[in-house]
């Protein structure tokens, strides 16, 4: 059954490096033998295996890539030739050739054409829908044994770092059909950002409840927090995207115990869609009130995140719900423009006294899947490249070239054709860095952690350009809030971690669009009862069918 694989369906593109690789014939060194081509089964090997062994005769692997238009390159580097491709060739004897490269927005379309024409290289990182399609078409290799035999201890450790949840999303009927890029679902936790210098000017206390936050929003709108004598500030920000980019409404809804765009368990243990539950209505009513009273930008319905960011960067806003990375972008821009600007991270705040839970994605929700065509001649080359990636990023021979502050800011980790990350890596970095700040002992930090530590120390010594690093990883930061979520059991994850059901594939995007349109209309002034009409339409137009399919699939797994 298709539900036997755990994946959260993605409707949008992710800005990850994507790759499709073909391996050519060659013998590897270190006693390894050529991997047999056995359709639908894991390759078997004999002899001693070196996870980082170099091929005696170089092999060539072909790939297709997605280019992030915002990606910066070092010197004359590009996706064809860069510090990572050189490292892979020099240390593993693997040459990488790109069959085609397209901008990220075009990748899925180009990939769909390639799948339809059966014009597929041997190795690929796939979005969930295409991964499912190729699994169903029996075009991918079972790599269970391949990872067991060629995976380095460090790679295997990383794949287990979330308790195996992400690996489960790529496992079909007991067979591992791909490597998830791995991510930490807690990184998606909503965070309330408040401009503290304005709070102090207005002599307001830090918020402990949603009511406190609403009072601050009102004051930031109406009491001239920037003291310029004009009524030109906006208390609370939202954008037409609602859930993505920099201001996000997720945390606001969570404060009212509403969980849009995710599946939760009801009192009977059945999965139900959070976006049609009655708690949504109270949050919608309050957002409508904020808009009506001018406390939300009156043009939010037509402004995208980039446009809305200007309000923060130009010191016209002081409250929003966003992501842990907000200081690295728009808040640092505000700090650069206004050195007096000071922002602090707060948790989701409850509207009624009951603990508010921060909404998270499902395991694997942000993953692409590194999969291998069942006809690949050298599938072990892919595992070797993954071994090299984790080793040079965080291993005993970690290369400063890849983990320095410049490397992180430039995004060097996006250059290689394959990558995998430890779950909760960022939270671990926060905990280790803040401990080192207390003890002044940096010997337990890896290269990336030491780089973050150094940047925070630069900020403490007066370099305001590193303020963002302190606000993400420091002692009073994004991860301070996220760590408390985790410690206090205040996280609520999406329970739908299986593959998209047939009706989800067909109708989810339409239902999501209906939901967003309904929410926007209500905020802008339509009757809150439009929510009730939406529920009926959602159910009739596929929601009930999706709900049944999901619960039937879960029941079949017991």
Q: pLDDT digits over 220-268, tens only?
A: 999 999 999 999 999 999 999 999 878 999 999 999 999 999 999 999 9
| Residue partners of 489: CB distance under 8 A and separation at least 6 | none
| Residue partners of 188: CB distance under 8 A and separation at least 6 | 323, 359, 360, 361, 365, 366
Q: What is the pLDDT of residue 217?
A: 98
340 beta partners: none
**Same domain flag for 524 and 466:** no
**Same domain flag for 209 and 274:** yes
Q: Does residue 406 form part of some domain? A: yes
Residue-range definition of the domain harbouring residue 237: 188-361+512-528
Q: What angle is formed at CA 49 by the lines to CA 45 and CA 51, rounded to 5 degrees?
A: 120
Q: What are 438-459's pLDDT values in tens digits?
A: 999 999 998 788 989 999 999 9
Mean local confidence (pLDDT), 304-322 = 91
Q: Does residue 537 form part of some domain? A: no
Q: Does residue 88 form part of some domain? A: yes
Q: What is the pLDDT of residue 451?
A: 87
Q: Does residue 534 form part of some domain? A: no
**Same domain flag for 272 and 221:** yes
CA distance 161 to 153: 12
64 beta partners: 100
Q: What angle is formed at CA 8 by the lines to CA 6 and CA 9, rounded to 5 degrees?
A: 125
Q: Is the pLDDT of residue 510 over 90?
A: yes
Helix axes 279-292, 530-538, angle to 10 degrees: 140
- What CATH number is given to the structural domain containing 298? 3.40.190.10
Q: How many CA atoms lie within 13 A of 363 on its CB side?
A: 20
**Same domain flag for 207 and 323:** yes
Contact between residue 301 and residue 172 where contact means Cβ atoms under 8 Å apart = no
Through-space distance between the first and last CA atoms of the chain, rounded to whole angstroms: 13
Single out the residue of 540, 554, 539 nearest to residue 499, CA to CA: 554
Q: Does residue 554 form part of some domain? A: no
Q: Is the pLDDT of residue 16 over 60?
A: no
Q: What is the pLDDT of residue 485?
A: 97
Q: What are 411-428's pLDDT values in tens digits?
A: 777 788 998 888 888 999
| Residue partners of 383: CB distance under 8 A and separation at least 6 | 51, 143, 146, 147, 150, 151, 155
Give 328's DSSP letter: G
User: Secondary structure of the chain: what % helix, strand, coil (to 5)?
Assistant: 45, 15, 40
Question: Helix count (H) and strand count (E) of the chain?
Answer: 22, 16
Q: Is the pLDDT of residue 166 over 50?
A: yes
**Same domain flag for 206 and 343:** yes
Q: What angle is formed at CA 232 by the lines to CA 230 and CA 237, rounded to 5 degrees?
A: 155
Q: Please tell me the total count of domains within the chain.
A: 3
Q: Is the pLDDT of residue 85 over 90?
A: yes
Single out the residue of 499, 481, 500 nearest to residue 491, CA to CA: 481
Q: What is the pLDDT of residue 401?
A: 81
Strand blocks (E) in 496-540:
none
| Residue partners of 44: CB distance under 8 A and separation at least 6 | 35, 36, 38, 145
Q: Does residue 176 form part of some domain? A: yes
**Same domain flag for 88 and 168:** yes
Average pLDDT of the chain is: 87
Q: What are 321-375's pLDDT values in tens digits?
A: 999 999 999 999 999 999 999 999 999 999 998 999 999 987 655 568 899 999 8
Q: What is the pLDDT of residue 304?
A: 86
**Same domain flag for 175 and 192:** no
In the structure, what pLDDT confidence band is assigned to residue 77 with cuts at 50, 70 and 90? confident
Q: Is the pLDDT of residue 523 over 80?
A: yes
Contact between residue 27 and residue 62 where contact means Cβ atoms under 8 Å apart = no
| Residue partners of 362: CB distance under 8 A and separation at least 6 | 8, 185, 262, 493, 494, 495, 496, 497
Q: Give the Cβ contact number of residue 508 at 10 Å.
A: 17
**Same domain flag for 339 and 450:** no
Q: What is the pLDDT of residue 306?
A: 83
Percent of residues, the chain, with pLDDT higher than 70: 89
Q: 0.75 exceeded by the pTM?
A: yes
Q: Give the Cβ contact number of residue 150 at 10 Å.
A: 27
**Same domain flag for 378 and 355:** no
**Same domain flag for 313 and 385:** no
Q: What is the pLDDT of residue 396?
A: 87
In the structure, what pLDDT confidence band is assigned to residue 22 with cuts at 50, 70 and 90? very low
Q: Is the pLDDT of residue 152 over 80?
A: yes
**Same domain flag for 318 and 378:** no
Which tops the pLDDT comparison, 403 or 381?
381
Per DSSP, the residues of 449-466 read HHHHHHHHHHHHTT-GGG
CA distance 298 to 524: 8
**Same domain flag for 296 and 445:** no
CA distance 239 to 389: 37
- Supply 526's token pair: 């339509």
């Amino acid at each position: 059954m298709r539900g036997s694989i755990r994946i959260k369906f993605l409707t949008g593109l992710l800005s990850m490096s994507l790759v499709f690789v073909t391996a050519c014939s060659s013998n590897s060194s270190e006693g390894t033998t050529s991997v047999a081509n056995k359709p639908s089964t894991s390759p078997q090997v004999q002899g001693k295996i070196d996870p980082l062994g170099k091929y005696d005769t170089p092999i060539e692997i072909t790939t297709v890539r997605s280019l992030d238009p915002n990606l910066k390159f070092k010197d004359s580097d590009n996706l064809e030739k860069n510090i990572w491709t050189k490292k892979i060739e020099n240390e593993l004897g693997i040459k990488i050739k790109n069959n085609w490269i397209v901008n990220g927005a075009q990748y899925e379309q180009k990939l769909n054409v390639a799948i339809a024409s059966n014009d597929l290289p041997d190795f690929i990182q796939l979005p969930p829908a295409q991964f499912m399609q190729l699994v169903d078409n029996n075009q991918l290799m079972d790599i269970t044994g391949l990872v067991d035999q060629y995976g380095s201890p460090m790679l295997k450790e990383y794949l287990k770092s979330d308790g195996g949840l992400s690996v489960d999303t790529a496992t079909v009927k007991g067979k591992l059909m791909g490597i998830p890029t791995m991510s930490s679902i807690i990184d998606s936790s909503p965070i309330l950002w408040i401009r503290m210098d304005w709070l102090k000017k207005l002599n307001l206390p830090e918020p402990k409840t949603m009511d406190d936050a609403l009072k601050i929003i009102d004051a930031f709108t109406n009491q001239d927090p920037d003291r310029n004598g004009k009524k030109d500030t906006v208390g609370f920000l939202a954008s037409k995207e609602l859930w993505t980019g920099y201001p996000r409404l997720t945390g606001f809804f969570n404060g009212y115990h509403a969980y849009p765009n995710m599946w939760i368990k009801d009192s009977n243990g059945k999965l139900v869609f959070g976006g049609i539950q009655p708690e949504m209505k109270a949050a919608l009513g309050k957002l409508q009130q904020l808009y009506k009273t001018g406390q939300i930008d009156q043009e939010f319905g037509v402004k995208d995140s980039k446009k809305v960011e200007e309000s923060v960067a130009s010191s016209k806003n002081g409250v929003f719900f966003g992501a842990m990375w907000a200081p690295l972008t728009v808040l640092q821009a505000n700090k650069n423009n206004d050195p007096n600007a000071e922002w602090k991270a707060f948790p989701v705040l409850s509207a009624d006294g009951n603990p508010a839970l921060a909404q998270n994605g499902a395991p694997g929700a942000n993953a692409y899947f590194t999969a291998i065509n069942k006809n690949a001649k050298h599938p072990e080359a892919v595992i070797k490249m993954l071994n090299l990636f984790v080793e040079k990023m965080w291993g005993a021979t970690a290369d400063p070239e890849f983990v320095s502050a410049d490397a992180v800011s430039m995004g060097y980790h996006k250059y290689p054709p394959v990558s995998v990350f430890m779950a909760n890596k960022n939270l671990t970095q926060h905990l280790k860095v803040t401990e080192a700040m207390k003890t002044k002992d940096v010997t337990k930090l890896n290269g990336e952690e030491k780089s973050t530590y150094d940047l925070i120390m630069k900020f403490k010594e007066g370099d305001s350009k590193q303020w963002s690093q302190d606000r993400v990883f420091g002692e009073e930061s994004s991860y301070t809030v996220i760590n408390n979520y985790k410690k206090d059991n205040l996280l609520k994850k999406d329970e739908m971690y299986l593959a998209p059901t047939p009706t989800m594939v067909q109708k989810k995007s339409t239902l999501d669009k209906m939901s967003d349109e309904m929410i926007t209309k209500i905020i802008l002034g339509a009757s809150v009862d439009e929510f009730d009409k939406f529920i009926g339409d959602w159910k009739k137009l596929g929601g009930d069918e999706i709900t049944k399919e999901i619960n039937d699939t879960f029941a079949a797994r017991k």
